[in-house]
Structure 1
Amino acid sequence: MKTISIEKLVQEFSLEVLEGKDYLNRKISQPRTHRPGLEFIGYFDYFPMEQIQILGKKEITYLHKLTDEERRYHIGNVVKYHPPCFIVTAGQEGLTYLKQYCKEERIPLLRTNEKSSEFIDNLNNYLKNKLAPEIAIHGVCLNVYGVGILLRGKSGIGKSETAHTLIGRGHRLVADDIVVLKKISSKTLLGTHNRTNKEFLALRSIGLLNIAKIYGRKAFQEETRIAIDIELCRWEDNELNNQLEPELTYKDYLGVKIPHIEIQLQPGRDVAGLVEAACTNWYLFQQGYNAAEEFFERIQNELKDQENE
């Protein structure tokens, strides 16, 4: 299971450490946060104790209104479960009692000046990305016309050369050779680099190219949502698919199904142009347009016209 330390969160979000500096090495494994409202009034049936606990204005205002005895009872019920940490939002003050309880239970107490809603959204997105299940595959990841693609094929087939042509046409590189795939949700797969290969593209006979330095920052992006899996294959005379509407197939990565396309290679074929066409066609399909359906509809209309003559 992937984890991230509280110390990393402190650095990433510039959090103020109010208590528990010696316990920032505690690990977080859950990609969501929780606001303990019901728990402060004694309802614990579904308390996600492994999640970061966020204390916004509603929670802190409620705690301020309690007597010392009530406060110790209600806060004690929560801290005894030892959540990873508490984060107070909106720079709220008057937290002496909360510091004491966190100190007793060795729980880090942190604070941010950001509003609850904005901070929770940013933190949840960050945790979801960092803690997402991931795998590394051999291939190239690009963003073509705003569509994220995986370009795969056997070694030496021409993946990086095709990527270089696409970059020259204004599209963006995400990763070459090693592509890290992260499962963000049951239907969302994110492609990114492994940090070492960031901005680099390897071309046979040429060597390593730093795409950002050669073509500018616009030629590279950190990550993209994978929409199409494209496999480059060697030309097979008896296997080329000439159907007007090829059967849709999928490639499974971490349980996420991605539409799969095979492009056969032959001297003279504009492979980069075919990749662009595949991305454009996919985008139109998402908008509800199907070229094959329109084509067949035209044929049917022509046949009807001939029957009526």
Structure 2
Amino acid sequence: MKSVTVQDLVERFSLEVLAGSHKLNAVIPKGRVHRPGLEFVGYFDFFPHAHVQVLGSKEITYLHTLSEEERNLHIGNIVKYHPPCFVVTRNQEGLKYLKKYCEEEGIPLLRTPLPSSRFIELVDAYLTKALAQEIAVHGVCVNVSGIGILLRGKSGVGKSETAHTLIRRGHRLVADDIVVLKKIGPETILGTHNGKTKEFLALRSIGLINVSRLYGRKAFQDETRIVLDIELTKWQDHALNNELELEPKFTEYMDIRIPHIEIQLQPGRDVAGLVEAAANNWYLRQQGYSAAEDFMKRLQSDD
């Protein structure tokens, strides 16, 4: 898990630095922002002081209505907890007293023209991903008709070639060789690239290709939610199942279970087509449809 500093936030969202510029290297340890409200009236029992503190129109207007003595008391009570930074939204003015305290306590005071709701939405999404638990796995990540798939298998089994065929059919590459998995929720894993391999796909006998340059921007996307783990394996006679519905299997990443499917390879077998079928079948299952159940109902209706 990488760390995020106030400087990262400033650069990411083009924030104006009003005070505390010497403390922009302060680390932001928590992934959600907070709007202090109860804290301004002296209630600190559940104050999430390690979060970015956002001061919107309500907070600043309230502070403006206080006397200098009251304002100094309320602000002083908050800054002593040393949050990583304060961000004032809507380019609000009249912040002399805030600048004073932030400079004295070494807390960055920042400003944005964005309204509070929009700024909070953007920063929450950014910090959730940036601070997420993550691991790197060997494989290929693709988005097939909006469905994120992790393709795994031994080196040389044909993962990248399968991804290339999928791209030519209109689907998208996310990452090749090294796939970074990020846990952004109790049941949600994002797949992305490590930056260095962005847009690149390595094909045996051909070499490295840039899919965006070769097939257009629609051939690549930055990240996708992983919902299927597909393992490509070598063909083994008598090892394939032909049941109407296979027993569900799962692969676990960072305590999250992802449905797992094994596809065996053989010359002439349309592996990319099977990946598409697996993706579409997963989608139908999420809608409550089972082909096996539908088939059995038809058989029973004929009795």
1:294 equivalent to 2:300? Answer no
Q: What CA RMSD, in Å, does the superposition of the two structures yield over aligned residues?
A: 0.8
Q: Deviation at 1:215?
A: 0.5
1:50-71 CA-partner distances (Å, limit 9, x unpaired)? 1010001111111111111111
Match of 2:5 in 1: 5
Q: Deviation at 1:269?
A: 0.9
Match of 1:144 in 2: 144
Q: Distance in 1 between matches of 2:74 and 2:213?
A: 57
Report the identity percentage: 67
Match of 2:119 in 1: 119
Match of 2:29 in 1: 29
Match of 1:173 in 2: 173
Q: Deviation at 1:228?
A: 0.4
1:159 equivalent to 2:153? Answer no
Structure 1, 273-282 or 231-240: larger mean CA deviation:
231-240
2:240 partner letter: L
1:236 equivalent to 2:236? Answer yes
Q: Deviation at 1:5?
A: 1.1
Q: Distance in 1 between matches of 2:292 and 2:34?
A: 48
1:40 partner letter: F
Q: Distance in 2 between matches of 1:243 and 1:175?
A: 33
Matched residue count: 303
Structure 2 alignment gaps of length 5 or more: none
Match of 2:250 in 1: 250
1:13-24 to structure 2, matched below 5 A, reads 13-24=13-24
Structure 1, 231-240 or 128-137: larger mean CA deviation:
231-240
Q: Deviation at 1:254?
A: 1.1
1:167-201 CA-partner distances (Å, limit 9, x unpaired)? 11111000000000011101110000111101111
Q: Deviation at 1:125?
A: 0.3
- Secondary structure class of the residue paired with 1:51: coil
Q: Deviation at 1:205?
A: 1.2
Match of 1:97 in 2: 97
2:189 partner letter: L
Q: TM-score, normalised by structure 2?
A: 0.99
- Secondary structure class of the residue paired with 1:45: coil
Q: Deviation at 1:2?
A: 3.0
Q: Distance in 2 between matches of 1:81 and 1:2?
A: 24
1:58 partner letter: K
1:83 partner letter: P
Q: Distance in 2 between matches of 1:260 and 1:91?
A: 50
- Secondary structure class of the residue paired with 1:33: coil
Structure 1 alignment gaps of length 5 or more: 304-309
Q: Distance in 2 between matches of 1:241 and 1:65?
A: 73
Q: Distance in 2 between matches of 1:45 and 1:261?
A: 48
Kept in 2: contact 1:2–1:29 (CA 8 A): no
- Secondary structure class of the residue paired with 1:228: strand
2:226 partner letter: I
Q: Distance in 1 between matches of 2:153 and 2:29?
A: 35
Q: Deviation at 1:287?
A: 1.2
1:228-256 CA-partner distances (Å, limit 9, x unpaired)? 00000112223211111001111111111
1:193-272 to structure 2, matched below 5 A, reads 193-272=193-272
Match of 1:307 in 2: none
Match of 2:80 in 1: 80
Q: Distance in 1 between matches of 2:167 and 2:3?
A: 35
Q: Distance in 1 between matches of 2:282 and 2:72?
A: 58
Q: Distance in 2 between matches of 1:61 and 1:40?
A: 12
Which of structure 1's runs of 4+ aligned residues deviate more than 3 A?
none
Q: Distance in 2 between matches of 1:20 and 1:45?
A: 26
Q: Deviation at 1:104?
A: 1.1
Kept in 2: contact 1:27–1:84 (CA 8 A): yes
Match of 2:64 in 1: 64
